[in-house]
Structure 1
Amino acid sequence: MNQWEWNVLEEKEQVDYVVIGEAEVRKGSRVRLHPHEGGDIFDLALRGQIATVESIEQDYEGQQHICVVLEDDPGRDLGMMRQPGHRFFFKLTEIEPLPEEEQHERKKALPPSILIAGIGNIFLGDDGFGVEVVRQLADRISPDSVRIVDFGIRGLDLVYALQYGYETAILIDAYPHGQTPGTVSVVELDANEAADSTGNVLEPHNMHPMNVLRMARSMHGPLKRVLLVGCEPATLGGDEGCMGLSEPVEAAVAEAVNATEALVKRILEGESIPGSHQSQ
């Protein structure tokens, strides 16, 4: 993403709803699809299908598009998480809002409320900490209300995931902040501070948490509480890089797994979470 694209993205206004006919269409509205003749063959195959509006997007030229998820798609929950392959874009003239009495017929599946995101590059020593932690968490946390993803170095994917509206996002990453290597810290990140910062434009493989939050905030998504479970690294691989965690960071993985499980339990039970703490 170059500077011009970044500036356009930051200046783009959020679209909460559009009016089609006499009906307001917004996220969650149920619509029937009427793709135009001569359009994409995949879109034409969806003629007459019922879908749910996932978002209303505006391109660089100011044109509005309706992003929908098919109600009969077995992977519709992935579409509501803004994952590719399960979201479809249509012009306003290709959308028919369903009557008011049909808007609430389909009961929406309860979406995940917590995102656990592993961050890091496994080729840079202890930077792979977050990747290893979420790998172990995947076998230990199973509630439908929790989504666990190894984002690795896919910064833009994490930015888009944060647009989904999770009540809490837990980022797990190496966290250099002058402590003894292997120190595990839980820190609440300030999304507003990230939005006001003047950090570098996010590169596709630049996963600094504050840069990720800055871009996510600029896209006007419902960014709520963001926690960081971080570990002080001993080495980030040097000039040539290296695979594998150092001994103190390897030993800290289990502690981070336990800390994350405890956070999830407290969040789901409605308990308060301390702003930040650390242990060695």
Structure 2
Amino acid sequence: MKKLLVLGIGNILLGDEGVGVHAVEELKKDEWPENVHLVDGGTFTHDIFHILEGYDGLLVLDIVHGGKDAGTIYYLEEKDIIDNDKQRLSLHDIDLVDSLNMAGAVGKRPEMRILGMEPENYTEWNMDMTETCQAVFPGYLDKARSEIKRFIAEFAQ
């Protein structure tokens, strides 16, 4: 059975920077098939390459600096990050791609997709997301649920 890792990345102490972690914690409240694993990856993406081993799919939940209005939701694939050096997946994108490369070097490399949100505040100490990001957070969760279901459907083919 193919496996999916849903990885929430971010720092919940820096406002909107924690959107991925907040999202994965909310998604853990839903019921998922046994081949879907939800993990709080925090900010240690370089150290987690060993967690990526054995997965066929990887859905990353994080902030994305795309230059649009705060609260904008982005869907990206790995090639979007690699091909566009101006696209930044939070502060952790280089480490995450490196971790994927290391996982591939020692075993299987999962297919990565990213669901991100443009932050408003990600540099000031605050455990709450801004009102702007909180307002779109339910829609962000719905898109994450849809993407998880899409992975599951693709795995069944």
TM-score by length of 2: 0.83
- CA apart distance, 1:193: 3.6
The CA deviation string for residues 72-121 of structure 1, in whole angstroms up to 9 with x for no partner, is xxxxxxxxxxxxxxxxxxxxxxxxxxxxxxxxxxxxxx5x6100000000
Unpaired segments ≥5 residues, structure 1 = 1-109, 198-205, 272-280
Q: 1:257 aligns with which of 136, 141, 152?
A: 141
> Does the alignment pair 1:175 with 2:61?
no
The residue number in structure 2 matching 1:47 is: none
TM-score by length of 1: 0.48
Structure 1 position 155, deviation (Å): 2.3
Q: Which has the higher helix share?
A: 2
Q: Tell me which structure has the larger Cα radius of gyration.
A: 1
Q: What amino acid does structure 1 have at the position aligned with 2:50?
A: Y
Shift of residue 192 of structure 1?
9.7
1:235 correspondence with 2:124:
no
* Runs of 4+ with deviation above 6 angstroms: none
- Return the alpha-carbon distance in structure 2 between the equivalents of residues 141 and 261 of structure 1: 11
Please give the secondary structure, in 2, of the residue aligned with 1:121: coil
Aligned residue type for 1:145 = N
Question: For the residues of structure 1 that align with 2:4 and 2:147, how far apart are their CA atoms?
Answer: 10
- The answer for the alignment partner of 1:129 in structure 2 is 19
The reply to whether residue 148 of structure 1 matches residue 38 of structure 2 is: yes
Contact 1:123 1:237 in 2 (8 A): no
Name the SS of the counterpart of 2:120 in structure 1.
Answer: coil
**Is 1:186 matched up with 2:85?**
no
CA contact (8 A) 1:191 1:213 kept: no
Task: Tell me the amino acid that sits aligned with residue 147 of structure 1.
Answer: H
Given that 1:170 and 1:227 are in contact with CA atoms closer than 8 Å, whether structure 2 keeps it comes out as: yes
> What is the number of residues matched between the two proteins?
148
**Unaligned segments of structure 2, at least 5 residues:** none
Question: What is the CA-CA distance between 1:191 and the residue it aligns to?
Answer: 9.3
Q: Distance in 2 between matches of 1:211 and 1:156?
A: 5
The equivalent residue for 1:160 is: 50
Letter in 2 for 1:243: M
Partner of 1:44: none
Query: What is the alpha-carbon root mean square deviation over aligned residues?
Result: 2.5
Q: Sequence identity, in percent?
A: 26
Say which structure, 1 or 2, has more relative contact order (CA 8 Å, 6+ apart). Answer: 2
- Structure number having the greater strand percentage: 1
What does residue 223 of structure 1 align with? 109
